[in-house]
Each structure stands twice: as C-alpha cells, then as structure tokens.
Chains A and B, each alone.
Chain A
Amino acid sequence: MTSAVPGTLAAFLCFFSLTVNVSDATGQETAAKPEKKTTEIKIGYLRAYAPQLTLSMLDLPPRDEGVAGAEVAIGDNNTTGKFTNQKFTLDVTEIKPDGDAVQAFEGMIAKGDRYVVADLSAKQLLSIADIARDKGVLIFNVGATDDSLREEDCRVNVFHIAPTRSMLADALAQYLMVKKWPNWVLLYGSHEQDHLYADALRRAATRFGGQIVAEKEFKDTGTARRTDTGATQIQQQISVFTQDLPEHDVVLVADESEVFGTYVPYRTWTPRLVAGTAGLVASSWHPASEQWGGIQMQSRFLKTTSRRMLSKDMSAWTAVRAVGEATTRTKGDDAKKISDYMRSDDFSVAAFKGQKLTFRKWNLQLRQPILLGDTKSVVSTSPQEGYLHQVSELDTLGVDQPETKCALK
C-alpha cells in the first residue's frame, strides 16, 4: 500500500499544458440577456424513512436528514443558475424502510425526474437500478454504504456519493496505525449490517497491519432502547462483556443497529479507547468540521435549517451539487452527457474537504477524504500522510481498482 510510483506521477505533471479552455462557449452567459430561456432541472429524492430509535437521544436522526442537505444544494445551484439560466427543483418521495421502491420510483420518472438522489437500502436501490438505466435516469446513492453495490452489484448509472464501509474502516485503521495503536479487539452486533461493518474492519486490519486479537458478538436480545433505570445495568453489562479480552490498545465497535455500541466507551473492563461506530467514528462529514472553508457550509446550513449538518446531509448536498456542476459545465440537461462528463477527467466537485472530489471510473464511487471525529470535534482526516498511491491517495481508502469485482453494466 505504501508504494509511490514516481514515473506515473511524472505523467501527471504536464506543465503549462495548452488546455484549450472549455469556456469559449461558457464565458458569454450573462444575466443581462433575459431572452434566454430558463431550463428546469428536476432532481428527485427517494428515501426510505421511518422514525428510528437510537441509544442516545443526541443521535435521533432529524426528520429531514439528508433532504435538508439536498435543499441547501438546490439553493446553491439556483444561485449559480441565475447566471446560467438554469432552475433546479427537488421532488421528495418517501417510502417505508421495507417498502416497494419500484412503484415510487416509476412515479418519479413519470413526473420527469432524470436525476434521483437515493437514500435507500442496498436491496431497494438494486430493485430500481436497472429500471433507471433503461429509462436513462441517473441515481446518486447517499444512503447505502454497502461495498456490494460498488462491486458485484455495481451499475453503470448509479453514482455513489456515500463512502463504503471499507472506506470508513480503512480511514480509521490508517489513523490507528499512524498512532501506533495496532492491537484491537472487535465487538460487533448480531445484525447483518453489523456483520458487514465488522468484515470491513477485519479487511482494514489485514490491509494496514492491525491485529485483531479477539472478537465478540453482542447478541441483540430485544432490549428496549429507552429505559428509565437502564443505566446501572448497562454499566455492569458492558464491563462484564469486555472482562475476558486479551491485552489490546483499542476496542473496535461495529454496531450500526444501535444495540450496544454507544454504551461501550468508559464502561469497558480495562481503560481503553473505543473506535468504530462509537467513540472515534469515521464519516463523510462532521457537524464541527470548519477546515477548508467548511465554516461557510456549516453557517449556510445552520441558517437554512436551524440544525447542524450531518454526514447524510453532506452526501445529499454533494450529490445535488455534482448534478449542478455537471449541468453548468455541459450547459445542458442531457442525462447521458452529464453521466459521460461525470466520468471524465474534467469532472470534479468541491465539498469542503481540502481537495477536489472525483468519481472512480471503474465503479462510480466518489473519492473523498474521510473525517474521524468524536462527539465534539474532528480528530483527524484520512488518508493519513505516508499512505501513498500511484493514482490518488484517496484510493488507499476502500476497494481499489486492481481488486474490484465491478464490471459496469
């Protein structure tokens, strides 16, 4: 992983290349030409939603999680659209978490949505992917972190804005290795998504040289997440659960299902740091990120929505901005052209992460730095310094091209 290929780097170094600029046609759009017809660009937003219980009150998802990010991006696109005669609209459709996505999706297509931001389960997303492809509709996945959607189940018309579990786990593993905390125990929940995150952490350990010295599954026995007097029991329960573990530096927690993870920090048998879905958490955004102009995004989001910006909000913002960027640069609303452009070397989108974000051409996953944060602040950002890559250091996170199982179709 830590190999540099100077020869390849040199290939990028095209000094003063006479890029015949793309703006010879774009430079002349002016606000002072009212005769120009405004193009309406309809963006759909399909989400599986039901109120969700969490172990901490602080983690209850806002009713408009994700959607709010898309709305702010629509506003941003429209500010730009004043100058390019484009108007963006958002059309939100909700289904149940176990609901039928196909029917809802067909309804959206009938309304004219050609770009659909999807906050769905992997199964739901797959159920609409091929219908979308046949209708020339582009999907932007902001909810599902499943690696399978970018690998064996990848699709030519599905762009993935949300990072994968393997990207998140790799981001965390790089940091723990840089800190020289290489010995980990892995506690994981008993649901499918917990197992998938545990798999990603095991893969990251192998990849970056971490040692998982012990593993334990925390069975979901159907405990209520809200209890008046639960705290005393939980304190003892976690302590006992972590009693018989071998010597380790860090406790890794894989509990996407919100069954026990939040309770692990400060309650372990030995005093150890916690990371994973609790403690130090890897994510595509953090409500306290203010680097790289992030404070402007945070201020704008807070002013519009009266709450803090979460990772899904950022993914949805980025999805809608990516469509905005592509329509501005291609000067049109042709889904095929936009798809081609997004996959070209010319495309990039800026999302307050210190560098441009681009799509991996082989599986349409958005390359992005991953933020590592606790409840209050951003602790670090991966990739960590020293993890080099011949194409992009962002490709040290997640499944890389030589290992991919994706054949876009």
Chain B
Amino acid sequence: MQKRACAFAILAAALTAGPASAYTAYVSNEKDNTMTVVDTATMQVVKTVEVGQRPRGITISHDGKFVYLCASDDDTVQIIDTATLEIVGTLPSGPDPELFVLSPDGKTLYVANEDDNLVTAIDVESKQVLAEIPVGVEPEGMGVSPDGKTMVNTSETTSMAHFIDTGTHEVTDNVLVDTRPRFADFKPDGSQVWVSAEVGGTVSVIDNAKREVVKKIQFAIQGLRAETIQPVGIAISADGKKAYVALGPANHVAVINTDTYEVEKYILVGQRVWHLAFTPDQKTLITTNGNSNDITFIDTATDEPVQSLTVGQQPWGVVISPK
C-alpha cells in the first residue's frame, strides 16, 4: 500500500513537472557545426542536422516554417525548412554574423556583424540588404521593441546599447552600460530594455522612453567568485513578470522579479550557460549549457530544473517553434 502511494506520488510529480505541450526546439551547436532538433514533450533529440561553420545565433519565422541560423565562420545566415530540416537558402548577412533578431512583422532580420562594427538589416523575402548601420566596436546583442519601431544593438568593446529607429535606420540614442554587453531583450510591453554585461557582471534596465538606465541588477551566488558571474542571455516572460538571466561560467540562471528587480532564485543548470528560450505556453524554459554539451529544461511554475539533455558540442543558442 505504501509502495503504491509512493509510486503515485512520483507519477503525479512527473505529470506536473513535464511540459504540457509538444513543441520543437532547435539548438545551435557552435563547436561541431550542427543543429539539434528536440521534442520538448518527450525531452528527446529528434534529429541532428549538419549546418554551416560555427553556428551561433538562431531564430525562427513567426509561422514556424523556417529556422534562421548564423553560420558565423561561413559569413552567412542559413535558412532551414523546418518540415524537411534541409538548408533551403541563405541570407546576405555580412561578415561574421553572431546574433540577430526578427522584426515583429517577420519581414526584416537585423544582424550584428561583429568584425565590421555594423548592424545589417535584411529583407527576408527579397533577401536584399536594406541598410548597414554603423554601431560601436563588436556589435552583438540584438533586441526589437514589440511595436517594431525600435531596435537595440549592444557593442561589446564600446559598452553601449545603441537605439536604432527601424524606419530611418539611424542610431538615435546611445546608452552606456557596464563592460561587454552581450544581449538585449525588450519587456513585452515595450517599456524597458534589459541589457546584460558579461564582464561587468550586471544587467542594466533601460527605460525605453527616457533612454536611460533606471536600474542596475547585480548578482551573487554563495561560494562562487564574483568574476565567474557573467550574465549573457536574457529571457523575459510573456506576462512581463519574471526575467531569467543566464550567468555563463557561474552555471546558474538567475530568476528576477521585474517589479522589485530582486533576484528570487538561482537555478543550477549546466556548465557555461549561454542562452535561453521559453516554450510558447511559457511553461518551460530551455537553457544551452556550452561546456557540458547539454540543455536544461526548467519548469517555470516551480523554477526547478526538470531534466538535462545532451545535444551537440558547445550548444550556443536555442529557439522554439511557435506551434
């Protein structure tokens, strides 16, 4: 009797912890030039696809039909058909594309070209370069406002967030943040941009109306040296209430209350956690852990890690199908 109760408890736990719906996650593996396709319901690898050299930034069209992947060392963005998992085309990204963001209308891809201090705007349908926008040294992080009117790029050596008007392709504001800003993410209501600074070890919260830093969030994990805490990827929940920040070699993800800016929890994931993505139902967050070659599934109801899954070598970015 006791045994059965125990088994039931485990079953119940498994049922509540597991992701409710099946989505497909696509993980770029920087070191072995592959993309891992993962079923988020079974938390299993479906397929490993060979792609271009040094795949990093990864995103998906809003209809879920195409994955866009920065093949950094091939100086191109590859287009992968999600139905066949075959590379069906490329976009003229400019040299060494690392990260990019797709406009809310799905028509324009904004790419950071690290080696050339440029942001390239590409029309996805015609595959034409719309503009090259000069920014600071080593552009990397890319975020776009929900209304599509503003794009933010971070430049790592310049340590700025550059606000770009997507209508004119002009830089309108430059906000100084801490050293080596890596990622920019808008809050769903467009009121703020959150920017991580890898070497500075902080996240700057920028007011999108005032274009100034209104809060700097710091991190500390018991037993870890301050230098190992290097914020990189940021994911803000659709309801805008929680922000998850990947802390790189600290091997933890910080969970931040966006009202109080307090870190409410540090979730232990894999080694050198780099980027993260929500499933569309917001129930699961997936992190890429570069140095342990795996991804971690986090249950966002409990903010507990549910499972780790080995993918390719040095997983870098992750994107999840909208359906």
What are 28 contact pairs spanning A and B, CB under 8 A?
A: A12-B226, A15-B262, A16-B261, A16-B263, A21-B214, A23-B176, A27-B173, A27-B206, A27-B211, A27-B212, A28-B173, A30-B171, A76-B137, A76-B158, A83-B160, A83-B174, A84-B174, A293-B156, A293-B180, A296-B114, A328-B176, A348-B199, A349-B179, A350-B157, A356-B200, A356-B201, A356-B227, A393-B225
Q: Mark B147-159, 1 if CB is under 8 A from A, else 0.
A: 0000000011111
A233 proximal to B (CB < 8 A): no
A80 proximal to B (CB < 8 A): yes
Distance in angstroms between the alpha carbons of A349 and B263 in the assembled complex: 26
Within 8 A of B (CB), among A173-223: none
CB proximity of A344 to chain B, nearest CB, Å: 14
Give the residues in chain B near A299, CB-CB below 8 Å. Answer: 96, 115
Distance in angstroms between the alpha carbons of A321 and B138 in the assembled complex: 14
CB pair A29–B174 under 8 Å, yes or no, is yes
CB proximity of B214 to chain A, nearest CB, Å: 7
Distance in angstroms between the alpha carbons of A349 and B156 in the assembled complex: 11
CB pair B200–A80 under 8 Å, yes or no, is no
A235 proximal to B (CB < 8 A): no
B258 proximal to A (CB < 8 A): no
Give the residues in chain B near A23, CB-CB below 8 Å. Answer: 175-177, 204, 212-213
CB proximity of B207 to chain A, nearest CB, Å: 9
B3 proximal to A (CB < 8 A): no
Within 8 A of A (CB), among B199-237: 199-201, 204, 206, 210-220, 222, 225-227
CB pair A350–B213 under 8 Å, yes or no, is no
Q: Which chain A residue shows the least CB distance to B211?
A: A27
Give the residues in chain B near A17, CB-CB below 8 Å. Answer: 218
CB pair B136–A79 under 8 Å, yes or no, is yes
CB pair B220–A83 under 8 Å, yes or no, is no
CB pair B170–A21 under 8 Å, yes or no, is no
CB pair A80–B115 under 8 Å, yes or no, is no
A232 proximal to B (CB < 8 A): no
CB pair B137–A19 under 8 Å, yes or no, is no
Distance in angstroms between the alpha carbons of A257 and B259 in the assembled complex: 62
CB pair A16–B210 under 8 Å, yes or no, is no
Give the residues in chain A near B134, CB-CB below 8 Å. Answer: 79, 82
Q: Mark A1-44, 1 if CB is under 8 A from B, else 0.
A: 00000000000111111110111101111111000000000000
Q: Which chain A residue shows the least CB distance to B174?
A: A83
Give the residues in chain B near A401, CB-CB below 8 Å. Answer: none
Give the residues in chain A near B138, CB-CB below 8 Å. Answer: 293, 296
Given A80-B136, A83-B158, A296-B115, A14-B218 contact (CB < 8 Å): yes
Give the residues in chain B near A82, CB-CB below 8 Å. Answer: 134
CB proximity of B230 to chain A, nearest CB, Å: 8
Distance in angstroms between the alpha carbons of A26 and B284 in the assembled complex: 38
Give the residues in chain B near A19, CB-CB below 8 Å. Answer: 216, 218
Interface pairs A-B: 5 shortest CB-CB: A27-B212, A13-B220, A23-B213, A21-B213, A355-B227
CB pair A83–B162 under 8 Å, yes or no, is yes
B117 proximal to A (CB < 8 A): yes
- In the complex, which range does the number of interface residues on chain A fall in? 35 or more
Q: Which chain A residue shows the least CB distance to B214?
A: A21
Partner of A348, one of B171, B200, B216: B200
Q: Which residues of A contact B (CB under 8 A)?
A: 12-19, 21-24, 26-32, 76, 79-80, 82-84, 293, 296, 299-300, 303, 321, 325, 328-329, 348-350, 354-356, 392-393
CB proximity of B290 to chain A, nearest CB, Å: 12
Give the residues in chain B near A392, CB-CB below 8 Å. Answer: 227
Distance in angstroms between the alpha carbons of A296 and B116 in the assembled complex: 10
Q: Which chain A residue shows the least CB distance to B179?
A: A350
Give the residues in chain A near B215, CB-CB below 8 Å. Answer: 18, 21
Q: Which chain B residue shows the least CB distance to A18?
A: B215
Distance in angstroms between the alpha carbons of A303 and B96 in the assembled complex: 14
Give the residues in chain B near A18, CB-CB below 8 Å. Answer: 215
Q: Which chain A residue shows the least CB distance to B256?
A: A16
B307 proximal to A (CB < 8 A): no
Give the residues in chain A near B222, CB-CB below 8 Å. Answer: 13
Interface size on B, residues (CB 8 A): 48
CB proximity of B216 to chain A, nearest CB, Å: 5
Q: Which chain B residue shows the least CB distance to A299?
A: B115
Give the residues in chain B near A24, CB-CB below 8 Å. Answer: 212-213
B172 proximal to A (CB < 8 A): yes
Q: Mark B301-314, 1 if CB is under 8 A from A, else 0.
A: 00000000000000
Give the residues in chain A near B176, CB-CB below 8 Å. Answer: 22-23, 26-27, 29, 328-329
Give the residues in chain A near B117, CB-CB below 8 Å. Answer: 79
CB pair A32–B262 under 8 Å, yes or no, is no
Distance in angstroms between the alpha carbons of A21 and B206 in the assembled complex: 11
Give the residues in chain A near B262, CB-CB below 8 Å. Answer: 15-16
Give the residues in chain A near B214, CB-CB below 8 Å. Answer: 21
CB proximity of A69 to chain B, nearest CB, Å: 14
Given A299-B115, A348-B199, A80-B220 contact (CB < 8 Å): no
Distance in angstroms between the alpha carbons of A354 and B199 in the assembled complex: 7
Distance in angstroms between the alpha carbons of A82 and B215 in the assembled complex: 26
Give the residues in chain A near B220, CB-CB below 8 Å. Answer: 12-15
Q: Which chain B residue shows the least CB distance to A389?
A: B225
Q: Which chain B residue shows the least CB distance to A349?
A: B179
Q: Mark B265-282, 1 if CB is under 8 A from A, else 0.
A: 000000000000000000
Given A16-B218, A23-B213, A83-B179 contact (CB < 8 Å): no
Q: Which chain A residue shows the least CB distance to B177?
A: A23
CB proximity of A119 to chain B, nearest CB, Å: 23
Q: Which chain B residue shows the least CB distance to A78?
A: B137
Distance in angstroms between the alpha carbons of A329 and B134 in the assembled complex: 21
* Further 19 A-B residue pairs, CB within 8 A, beyond A27-B175, A293-B138, A393-B227: A13-B222, A15-B218, A21-B216, A23-B213, A27-B173, A27-B176, A32-B171, A76-B158, A80-B137, A80-B160, A300-B115, A328-B159, A350-B156, A354-B227, A355-B199, A356-B199, A356-B200, A356-B201, A393-B225
Give the residues in chain A near B225, CB-CB below 8 Å. Answer: 393
CB proximity of B200 to chain A, nearest CB, Å: 7
CB proximity of A108 to chain B, nearest CB, Å: 27
Give the residues in chain A near B162, CB-CB below 8 Å. Answer: 83
Give the residues in chain B near A354, CB-CB below 8 Å. Answer: 227
Give the residues in chain B near A293, CB-CB below 8 Å. Answer: 138, 156, 180
Distance in angstroms between the alpha carbons of A23 and B158 in the assembled complex: 14
Give the residues in chain B near A300, CB-CB below 8 Å. Answer: 115
CB proximity of A10 to chain B, nearest CB, Å: 9
Give the residues in chain B near A31, CB-CB below 8 Å. Answer: 171, 174
CB pair B213–A27 under 8 Å, yes or no, is yes
Given A21-B216, A82-B134, A356-B200, A348-B179 contact (CB < 8 Å): yes
